[in-house]
């Protein structure tokens, strides 16, 4: 029962729409501007870099906290995985936003920061390299989730591979419009054009 409550709590925490709340505090509805996403990238794009960083940290916490708590409770790894995945589902399909939400990348980083820090560190480097090379956060995000299952194997942490594959499918699904834009050469950079030109 405790673990079921943990998973439900993770979903509710994941549902807290920090990007939407912070955006509204800045006078922007992120669902109606930029990419329409409530995540850190679109907040950086529509409200400025520091606002994006604040949302990144808050969304990271939504993934980190439930997994950290599950591990502190010595929950079996399937429950740890479920708690992490519930936070991601909450972020993407928030009960507070009529089951809409973000694309789960910052929250994914939080989940794996608690569960498998070394594979995550390498995946994050790949993500940053992809963003630096392309200018597109979406490409970095896809590199991160694509590399995680392989890195978990390489670092001998196979217990979280099922979670990483579920995360990969969820994040690809949430990025389906980005993937289309990338294929057409129409993806939005993380900065607004006006900012980029300054
Ligand atoms: O973390 C979300 C990022 O991968 C893409 O965001 O706003 O460019 O769709 P956005």
Q: How far is the CA of 137 from the centre of ligand 1 (A)?
A: 6
Residue written as token pair 């630096």: 132
Alpha carbons 146 and 52: distance in angstroms, whole number: 23
Tell me which residue has its CA closest to atom 3 in ligand 1.
138
Question: Ligand 1 centroid vs 4 CA: distance in angstroms?
Answer: 31
Nearest CA to ligand 1 atom 5: 138
Residue 194 is predicted with a pLDDT of 54
Going from the first residue of the chain to its last (198 residues), give the mean pLDDT of each consecutive group of 10, the final group possibly shorter: 94 96 94 90 93 97 98 96 98 94 96 96 97 94 97 91 97 96 90 54
> What does pTM read for this prediction?
0.92
For the beta carbon of residue 4, count every other beta carbon within 10 angstroms. Answer: 10
Query: Does residue 147's CB lie within 6 angstroms of at least one atom of ligand 1?
Result: no
Residue among 42, 109, 167 whose CB has most ligand 1 atoms within 8 A, to mutate: 42
- Verify whether ligand 1 is closer than 6 Å to residue 114 (CB atom): no
pLDDT at residue 192 in the model? 65
pLDDT of residue 27: 93
């Amino acid at each position: 029962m405790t673990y079921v409550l943990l998973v439900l709590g993770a979903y509710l925490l994941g549902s807290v729409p920090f990007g939407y709340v912070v955006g509204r505090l800045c006078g922007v509805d992120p669902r109606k501007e930029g990419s329409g996403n409530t995540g850190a990238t679109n907040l950086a794009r529509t409200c400025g870099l520091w606002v994006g960083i604040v949302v990144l940290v808050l969304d990271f916490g939504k993934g980190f906290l439930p997994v950290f708590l599950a591990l502190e409770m010595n929950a079996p790894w399937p429950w740890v995985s479920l708690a992490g995945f519930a936070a991601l589902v909450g972020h993407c399909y928030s009960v507070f936003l009529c089951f809409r939400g973000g694309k789960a990348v910052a929250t994914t980083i939080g989940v794996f920061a608690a569960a498998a820090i070394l594979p995550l560190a390498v995946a994050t480097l790949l993500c940053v390299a992809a963003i630096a090379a392309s200018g597109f956060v979406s490409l970095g995000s896809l590199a991160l989730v694509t590399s995680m299952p392989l890195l978990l194997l390489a670092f001998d942490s196979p217990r979280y591979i099922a979670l990483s594959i579920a995360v990969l499918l969820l994040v690809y699904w949430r990025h389906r419009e980005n993937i289309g834009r990338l294929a057409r050469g129409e993806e939005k950079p993380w900065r607004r054009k006006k900012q980029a030109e300054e």
